[in-house]
Amino acid sequence: MSETETGLFEAVDALVASASPLPAPSERKRLRQAHGLTLDQVAGALKVRRATVSVWEAGKTEPRPPEREAYARLLNKLAELYPVDTTRATAAHPSAPERTTVAPQSMEPARSAHPSPSDDVESATAPPQANPPRQAPSRPTTVTRQTSTTRRAAARPATARKSTTAAPATPDPRFENGPLAVVDCQDGQVVAYCVGGLLLDVPAKSLPALVEWTLKEAQLGAVKLHGCGKDADPLLVFTEAACEQYGLPGTLSESERLAGRLPEGHKVLKQLERAEWKLTRRGFGPWARIYRPAKASQRQCVQLCLPSWGALDTRTWGAAAQLPPAELVRLLGAYAQRVITPRGSTAVTGLELMTALNPPTRASEPDASGRRHKEHRPGSLGEEAMDCAPCEAPDGHPLLADLPRFHQRGPEEMLFEEAYDWARELTDAECMKRFLVGIDVNLAFGAAANGAVVGLSRPPVHVADPRFDPALPGAWLVDLSHVDLSRVLVGKQWQHLDAELLPSPFTPTGERPTGPAWYATPTVAYAVELGYDVAPLEAWVRPEKGKFLDGWYKRLRNAYVDTMGDLGVGEKLPPHAFLEAMDGHKQRDPEMAIVLDAIKATVKGGIGKLRERPRGGGWRPGQPWSALARPTWRPDIRAAVISRARINMHRKMLALAAATGQYPVAILSDCAVYAATGPSPLDLLPYDADGKTVPGSFRLGVSPGMVKHEGTQSVLWSEAVREEYGQVLNLARYIKTGEVTAKDDGQ
């Protein structure tokens, strides 16, 4: 064939391709998802923007040459790999996985019975070639119609980096279809989207029937995280259409929203009652738990999550509630597999995770008759709630009922361990620099929980005139006003520093204490570490102690690191490569970015729940509230974790100041702001050619306790803020966006 003919044939092929029909928009999306491709990957291959591919799939625009030819070629190849199953109509679900109808079984599967964490918190740049991003959990894939015993979709190729999140070596057949499902109704047919791309037909016509089907046929749930714990109950997430299908309102009315539940007498509640299903005391709200009393070791409980009722708070779950079912189940499934099946808000889930990893009881040795009994499990918090020490009690606690009305407790009466909120004016030398650079500690409260020695299941013991023991958890009344930051031990060497440019490590405001005050053990131990003697006046200590939160930290740490890997930010990256990988990391996979935020909220919220305050109307100071009945209501543990987080922050600042003479200008919880000559953290942190920096100070990286870039603003910006508001505001609060409002500072 001559070159002329070859050229003519190629031109004809291109002409045909440029006008060849493309699949329907919904089919384009199905084919992409079937191969586990993201919008970014397709856009990168075609050299177009991510939004362009998105509008092609939405049918809003059509591709034009030369992209059309390449796009048609891609779709044709994918169509060969993932043909439409002609045995079922897919018009109603063009982008969904193929459904599988689960056959009834003869018997039910066996089931075993940036602020500090607040008290009420429920709170496209390619990565470096040297460390490619690990593959995120695969998006839903098309499943050929299969039998009930082999209904799992084919696995995606192995990930680039092994996940650190623990998983069962072999799947439990009782929970073959994953921990949860998103229930939707399309054209009158109820379907359940499961993790891994499975779609189940749901035969249940009423809510009681759906609960029965879930427990007997759906094979949903998760294996217990500890040998002495309980398997996780299945979770059903209802779309608004599913709510209406089962007689529930798509959204709550104003009165229902304020009450947080359906009113008594609602027809669905009557259906459940007639079928002998029960609800917990919180009733049928955004997170509902439907159960029957356990028989022997067999639990009968199903959890419901209703995003259209506000179950997925936008402060922690972002726009998750607006996602299509297939994408929502991928997001929630990743969280459930890496953390735990959600059981409420991220704060509630964080608290539940503590108990799941460290159960309060275990089975005893067989007695004379061969029977085992439930007994306390050493190392846990036990099953019984306990009173805290008076100094640990928040205002309004029953222990303080005898105090005069409107009495304000001072530091000598109340343990006040909170995160930093401190700022100062810039020095003349700092004003000569051009930038303010904010650095943020990764998972700061999680890192502080790691290795924290806390009291366990015994009440605190009061000791008068005690000798301080840094290994004994508790609260100590001691005067630390003599600790002078101008001369302290740093790395076992005495250092002379400018104390006026540093916050005190003993108060959240950074002000130097003026007399005796109550402190948690880590705070007092830090005073000793700085080279000063301490003489406590009294203490409440807990001789029974342990590292209760270590397993909790490790699971959340692994979940955080794995999810960052999904977003293209790997461990052990050099400083420059880490900053490059962090640039736009959340845009690489918006769903995994939501999972990341939820993991961080689980850490903060879980620690905050340890001292949950009264919620709702009707409570009066001096009266108990519901949270006090939990064994996990432990303000002493919260105080110890926050104390360690604040001390860890101060220790890093001290090491940097001693080595470089650089001092922070503002600190808010886990974010510190410094004046620098350039806009990058590398203009602040003194890394050498080998990638090493000041020992014990801030280090760039993805691991908890290391830091990332929070934001940069100009020094001129800070001066404009000070002039506008006439006072020193905490610039760490605004360093990320540069937007300042009076409301943010309570004005």
Q: What was the pLDDT predicted at 205?
A: 95
**Helices 67-81, 3-19: crossing angle, 10 deg rounding:** 80
Question: Looking at 169-260, which runs of residues are DSSP E strands?
Answer: 180-186, 189-194, 199-201, 235-238
Name every residue whose Cβ is closer than 8 Å to that of residue 507 and which is 6 or more positions away in sequence.
416, 513
- Tens of pLDDT, residue by residue over 677-687, are 999 999 999 99
> 306-340 burial string, b = 16+ CB within 10 Å, else e?
bbbbbbbbeebbbebbebebbbbbbbbbbbbbbbb
Cis previous bond, 66, omega within 30:
yes
105 token code pair: 């079984």
Residues in a beta bridge with 362: 375
212 has pLDDT over 90: yes
More confident residue, 143 or 224: 224
Question: Measuring CA to CA, which residue among 113, 317, 341, 105 is closest to residue 236?
Answer: 341
- Tens of pLDDT, residue by residue over 328-365, are 999 999 999 999 999 999 999 999 999 999 999 999 99
Q: What was the pLDDT predicted at 116?
A: 63
Q: What was the pLDDT predicted at 734?
A: 96
Query: Could you tell me if residue 440 is left (phi over 0), alpha (psi between -120 and 50 degrees) or otherwise beta?
Result: beta
Distance of CA 213 to the CA centre of its chain: 31
Task: Specify whether the CB–CB gap between 731 and 721 falls below 8 A.
Answer: yes
pLDDT band for 110, please (50, 70, 90 cuts): very low
424 token code pair: 């100062």
Q: What was the pLDDT predicted at 114?
A: 58
- Tens of pLDDT, residue by residue over 453-508, are 999 999 999 999 999 999 999 999 999 999 999 999 998 899 999 999 999 999 99
- Tens of pLDDT, residue by residue over 578-615, are 999 999 999 999 999 999 999 999 999 999 999 999 98
pLDDT band for 54, please (50, 70, 90 cuts): confident
More confident residue, 115 or 46: 46
- Tens of pLDDT, residue by residue over 157-195, are 323 344 555 444 456 889 999 999 999 998 889 999 999
The Cα 558–Cα 442 span in angstroms is: 13
Task: Specify whether the CB–CB gap between 450 and 553 falls below 8 A.
Answer: yes
Burial class (CB in 10 A: 0-12, 13-18, 19+), 594: buried
Q: What was the pLDDT predicted at 164?
A: 56
Task: Specify whether the CB–CB gap between 675 and 719 falls below 8 A.
Answer: no
90 has pLDDT over 50: no
For the chain, which residues make up each domain, given as ranges? 3-81, 136-152+172-344
User: If you ran DSSP here, which 8-state letter would residue 197 be given?
Assistant: S
Name every residue whose Cβ is closer than 8 Å to that of residue 570 and which is 6 or more positions away in sequence.
127, 131, 133, 134, 161, 564, 581, 702
The Cα 258–Cα 616 span in angstroms is: 10
H or E stretch at 487: strand 487-490
Q: What was the pLDDT predicted at 115?
A: 59
242 has pLDDT over 50: yes
Grouping H, G, I as helix, E, B as strand and the rest as coil, residue 18 is helix
H or E stretch at 461: strand 461-464
pLDDT band for 67, please (50, 70, 90 cuts): confident
The Cα 675–Cα 689 span in angstroms is: 23
14 has pLDDT over 60: no
pLDDT band for 9, please (50, 70, 90 cuts): low
Poorest-confidence range of 170-184, 386-400, 565-579? 170-184
Distance of CA 313 to the CA centre of its chain: 12
Question: Measuring CA to CA, which residue among 461, 456, 458, 463 is closest to residue 477?
Answer: 463
More confident residue, 710 or 83: 710
- Tens of pLDDT, residue by residue over 399-429, are 999 999 889 999 999 999 999 999 999 999 9
Contacts 24+ apart (CB under 8 A), 71-79: 71/22, 71/46, 72/17, 72/20, 72/22, 73/17, 74/42, 74/45, 74/46, 75/22, 75/23, 75/27, 75/28, 75/31, 78/31, 78/32, 78/34, 78/35, 79/23, 79/31
Mean pLDDT of the chain: 87
More confident residue, 158 or 29: 29
Grouping H, G, I as helix, E, B as strand and the rest as coil, residue 533 is coil
- What is the SS3 assignment for 576-644? HHHHHHHCCHHHCCHHHHHHHHHHHHHHHHHHHHCCCCCCCCCCCCCCCCHHHHCCCCCHHHHHHHHHH
**Helices 25-34, 50-58: crossing angle, 10 deg rounding:** 120
172 token code pair: 């439990």
Q: Are strands 538-541 and 435-441 parallel, antiparallel or unpaired?
A: unpaired
- Tens of pLDDT, residue by residue over 513-563, are 999 999 999 999 999 999 999 999 999 999 999 999 999 999 999 999 999
Q: Which CATH class is domain 3-81?
A: mainly alpha
The DSSP-derived string for 691-724 is: S---TTS--BSSSTTSEEEEEEEEHHHHHHHHHH
In degrees and rounded to multiples of 5, residue 266 shows phi and psi of -60, 145
710 has pLDDT over 70: yes
Query: Measured in Å, how far apart are the chain's first and last C-alpha atoms?
Result: 82
Output the pTM of the full model. 0.81
94 has pLDDT over 50: no
609 token code pair: 């729940």
Mean pLDDT of 69-76: 87
Q: What was the pLDDT predicted at 22?
A: 85
454 token code pair: 């806390």
User: If you ran DSSP here, which 8-state letter would residue 21 be given?
Assistant: P
